[in-house]
Structure 1
């Protein structure tokens, strides 16, 4: 027939193949039994038959069994607590022994001797350049540092350098330059933030020569370097000194001290980045034939400063003295809510936690299950404020006045030797070259005034201030702030611990089941019993 050629495939296999399959199955089953034995899954749980209903003293037996079970649980809990305390004491002894063995080891980078390094930088320098963030120049000033420079012997000069001017509206930069020049000479500057080492730059230069491509991105550009170098070179020639002019760069963390040296040098001579506290010791860098600059770590901010100043100027977050969530909550209180919503393109939020949730979803910072990673969002938000990315500004004072440690005679004496006309022209040329942000796209920040710094040799370890009742029980009603004139009372933020509603609290209360209290006095100790009661 036509189907005679179609035959079913035979299921028979060769003996060697069959034996191999059987061997693999045995090994697999053996492995499963071994894993189950380790986990204790393979052991069958013996079923508890319980106490028969017709047994005498059933209630007393069950009560005694419950008492024994609760007693065993209590003993187990006590043993667990004792083990935890023992481990904690052991860790404490190990840490104490480690500190005694190595006295130079310090906690989480307590700004390793920055207060000891700063006086030596001032003594070793002929000119001190205090670098200020153009977004908050008054907040970046350290009165203790300026007073220490004025008290030093040797006719030391003090300069202001207004960095990150490309993140501030042009009108604001001009007002701050006029205000600062009433005290000391001020230089407008924009540092380059994308400098590599010499090898990488040579490769890029060869590639650009072959392809004719020139990198003109915003981060690569540097403005104000020629004006600053000319000012320092003219002063060095006017003084007629034999060696190089030593210029010490000082300022709070992340104002751009290392980036300034890299921009003037044209390559990555010092470590610089978004993270604060990278520079831990001073470093000498030769910029030109007669100018040598000294890079230094950031000034240590005193604990007496306001919370907003500590969030931007100190290293509390890096030293684990303050959480990044608390720093973000503090910063959000100091600026206009509507401007923050427009800048980060997020909807209306009630508190800092809700803002970070929206911000994390916007940036794609999600954890397993789609949960927003608020910790990463808070770190990114703080880096935007301290790094050279976010545009915000503080208003310059309308009627500036000299600080107590300055007088007109001192100002006149410190301005001698500088070519102020040439400096003014250089600043005007720098302002014409830089592309500034629009006034409407920049967030208005309420400045807290100069930040106090610690320049003594001993740093007192003060604990971070605990949140007050006002922070714990914040109101969710935010007042709208005018973008031009911000009142001192900014809107409050709800604390992270009070984000759940009262209905949730009631639901939690309903789920609490009271534990029955067993009265041991009710247990019958007499052996006699009544058959009519027990076998009714």
Structure 2
């Protein structure tokens, strides 16, 4: 390397380092801030500390697992290297290899989110249980009933007892709850229930982090109502049975009606996973309440695609985040509810259509995209979470005429009601009503129920989400093709013009009318100017700035 080149490189390096130092001075020296910790006045301080401890424990466990896995891999490699050197061990490995190949079989992957799997697990729960609890949402009890499942339970050879559990009664006015209780008790035994929303995890109690050390606020959400009534009802029924065995109680219902929350409330600990996400429970889960009663948590009932849009919006198994037509679901909900009450609930001005409502809601909650464009999909998902979760208080009116469904006869109703003590059930339900704090009728949103929601039990009748999406895409594609054909037939004369004719076209003449100005200088007629534009001439030279020619 020549001295000229070496000195040039050194000079460039010096200049580069000088620039870096200059930029560093502009930015300033960043000092590492110490963690100030959680202040004593902060709410839920002990919960935050507990979560931090749990995170540390999990990280330590992961590190230990990774360390053990590495040690095992190293030991295997050493054994293999030793076996290669030793001829006797080599022969043993050759003998073991074909036997291992025979034993290993290709396992078919199981999709946990498959609707067919949900049907299978639901059938298992119905067949294994002695008593089936159908959980109904108190805001829409008729809409959360499934006639197909009720019929399948009552038509089984082994006699199964069917009981209604009216959950989320704290979100409905008191008068409406009492009316629905009378309506449902004319058919089957009904238990009023309010699940507790704040419960400790069983893993936390196992690690010695109990309720005292957690600092959980005992509020209205932590109280449970109707648990003693339900346990007593099931305990009395198990004593009447001849065979002295644990009573298996299956819990069924549509998504987000509170099946797992009821089991957690009875057990007084979070044994089953709960949340706003639909279809969290995917397999049968057994929970022992006491020596006499064993609960079976089941996946959600799958709503038939033949239902109305409102029923599919509130009872569909599909997760709200993955729901493609969230805007259509919101339109259906707004159509069946009172507009003025929704305006008061969300503190929004009057709106003409669902799109305007979502725009106002997104602006109110700060759900904006780039450029301040309201994110309507996010607002629609938020509204669906509110209506399926335990946030919005709405109620549905009873039907004018009470008619028994075809799968329920008077003899079956009498047989089921004889098996339970209905007088004690009535007394315990009245005590539950006294213990719960209900919202006012003025603050609750009236909702027009569309009747029972039809469900699917047979695996062969279930249509997976992917197949439905493909059908919708094909239908949309056919519509687009049809529109293109119609437009092509209308503009057929213009489409016949060839490229040669376009090249030989005459210059176009554009006429522009002058603006008429009022006043003294205004003319009666409008001035007409003609601009000649020649489309045939093509400017071959580029208008870009050329540094070689234009720069001096």
CA distance in 1, matches of 2:387, 2:137: 11
Please name the residue that 1:441 is paired with.
443
Please name the residue that 1:126 is paired with.
130
CA apart distance, 1:223:
0.5
1:196–1:370 CA distance, 2 compared to 1 (3 A): farther
Q: Tell me, what secondary structure is at the counterpart of 1:463? A: helix
Please name the residue that 1:232 is paired with.
234
1:213-228 equivalences under 5 Å are 215-228=217-230
CA distance in 2, matches of 1:21, 1:124: 84
1:206 aligns with one of 189, 209, 212: 212
Does the alignment pair 1:330 with 2:332?
A: yes
Answer whether contact 2:278 2:319 (CA < 8 A) is retained. no
Answer whether contact 1:139 1:448 (CA < 8 A) is retained. yes
Please name the residue that 2:251 is paired with.
249
Answer whether contact 1:111 1:280 (CA < 8 A) is retained. no
Please name the residue that 1:97 is paired with.
none
Answer whether contact 1:112 1:280 (CA < 8 A) is retained. no
Please name the residue that 2:453 is paired with.
451
Deviations 1:370-418 (A, max 9, x none): 3322222211110110011110010112431211111111110111220
Deviations 1:66-97 (A, max 9, x none): xxxxxxxxxxxxxxxxxxxxxxxxxxxxxxxx
CA apart distance, 1:316:
4.1
Unaligned runs of 5+ in 2: 1-8, 21-105, 474-496, 506-552
Answer whether contact 1:158 1:184 (CA < 8 A) is retained. yes
CA apart distance, 1:109:
2.6
Deviations 1:425-484 (A, max 9, x none): 1100000010001101111111010010101122134636969xxxxxxxxxxxxxxxxx
Please name the residue that 2:176 is paired with.
172
CA distance in 2, matches of 1:412, 1:128: 17
Please name the residue that 1:68 is paired with.
none
Q: Tell me, what secondary structure is at the counterpart of 1:113? A: helix
1:42-441 equivalences under 5 Å are 104=109, 106=111, 109-198=113-202, 200=204, 203=209, 205-207=211-213, 215-316=217-318, 318=320, 320=322, 322-441=324-443
TM-score (norm 2): 0.65
CA apart distance, 1:517:
5.9
1:28–1:379 CA distance, 2 compared to 1 (3 A): farther
Farther-moved stretch of structure 1 (155-164 vs 358-367): 358-367
CA distance in 2, matches of 1:28, 1:179: 85
CA RMSD of aligned residues (A): 2.8
CA apart distance, 1:326:
1.6
CA distance in 2, matches of 1:232, 1:102: 41
CA distance in 2, matches of 1:520, 1:199: 78
Answer whether contact 1:163 1:255 (CA < 8 A) is retained. yes
1:29–1:351 CA distance, 2 compared to 1 (3 A): same
TM-score (norm 1): 0.67
Q: Tell me, what secondary structure is at the counterpart of 1:346? A: coil
CA distance in 2, matches of 1:28, 1:349: 62
Does the alignment pair 1:25 with 2:15?
A: yes
CA apart distance, 1:363:
2.0
Deviations 1:188-207 (A, max 9, x none): 00001222313546645324
Q: Tell me, what secondary structure is at the counterpart of 2:281? A: coil
Answer whether contact 2:202 2:271 (CA < 8 A) is retained. no
Unaligned runs of 5+ in 1: 1-18, 31-100, 468-514, 524-536
Does the alignment pair 1:463 with 2:468?
A: yes
